[in-house]
Structure 1
Amino acid sequence: MASLRSGLRRLSRLSKRGIDIGIACLALFLGFPLLIVVAAFVAMDGGPILYRHKRIGAGGISFGCIKFRTMILDAEQCLEEYLSYHPEARIEWARERKLAFDPRVTAVGRFLRQSSLDELPQLINVIKGDMSLVGPRPVTQSELVNYGSAVPLYKSVRPGITGIWQISGRNEVGYETRVRLDEQYVKGWSLGLDLWILLRTPAAVLSRRGAK
């Protein structure tokens, strides 16, 4: 019986990968005109169109998480200067790794973040096998400390473009709650859960609840 359950679970994970590839390829094909339009707006300031940020994937292997660039050039220097003049913002950054007002974000970038269009290039990460359509939010190496004993669980699966955190209010949800949601997702994973999250994602994106 145990071997049967193990076999079914393995089959489910293979099915998940097949679904990931199929939907990601279809979405890239259908969304290609939109990708071109977004790329043109991002390129207007003369900077690069895409941005790759190191995130931790399955097995603890880092990968370049692809997004449309939403920040100004020399963004890190801008952040350091801003935090040096705003102690309350430094505390917020240390706690959440995000800012309610982020001086680095461009006008176009702010719209892309609020609409989640900046994350469309992550479909390439899905096809490559770095990510899944559904999974824990991809985190940086420095953020892993926040996961405590749940780190092995986080590393046991591919991070996702969407997940329970995204449909639960995104930035309205505190980091501790986000970690707990990711832990619950991995422990209770099923294809049915993924389908439930995928079906709720469009409404969450359109509502822009918790988007920054």
Structure 2
Amino acid sequence: MPATGRGGTGAGGARFSTPRLQIRDPDAHIVPAPHHTVRCGQSPPASAAPAGSAATGTISGRLTTSAGAGAANTWIGLYEAEDIRFVDGATTGDDGRYTFEGVAAGAYRLQFAPDHGNGPQQYYRQKSEFWDADPVTVTAGATTTADDVLFSTGTVTGQLRTATGEPAPGMYVTVRDDESGASSGGLTDDGRYRIAALLRPAGAGRRPLTV
């Protein structure tokens, strides 16, 4: 049912990006990834390393929040840079650190999905689209460092009801920022949802909210 809303204001005067909401059945919950789907809480099956790539290296780094703290429990996807083929997945530790070992020499792109894949996804370094991501080059026998910082976020809250006015629990709500393309989502609890959304710079204006 179409509805309109407005963005909010976060700490320090930063404004929310006014997002677009999509409501889907829980069974359709997908962690966003380019041309690849992943069910919530699961990593997709790893693809084989490129043929003839016996020489390997390591990618290691630390992911932090916009406040400088370690970004714990953030899912990280490793993809080949040119054909978007999934290579491996990992989750950051409590301090935000992660490591990919035994990676075939070559160029890759990294995807970051906070809150076990439910937060606004982004790509290295602070990019919202896969093809804008900075490639990470792996050299045989060496460690490539790829540190990054998560986008600043605020919160979108609301309650979903049925046509008869009853709370609608167990529905999956997706928040998508029309400008950046970043998306996030979560399951409703008693029809209520609370989802992280990107902040917009103060004075950047507002856009309609579509449900």
- Place the TM-score, normalised by the shorter chain, in its bin: under 0.3
Give the structure with the higher percent helix: 1
Q: TM-score if structure 2 supplies the norm length?
A: 0.28
TM-score w.r.t. length of structure 1: 0.28
Q: Which structure has the highest strand share of the two?
A: 2
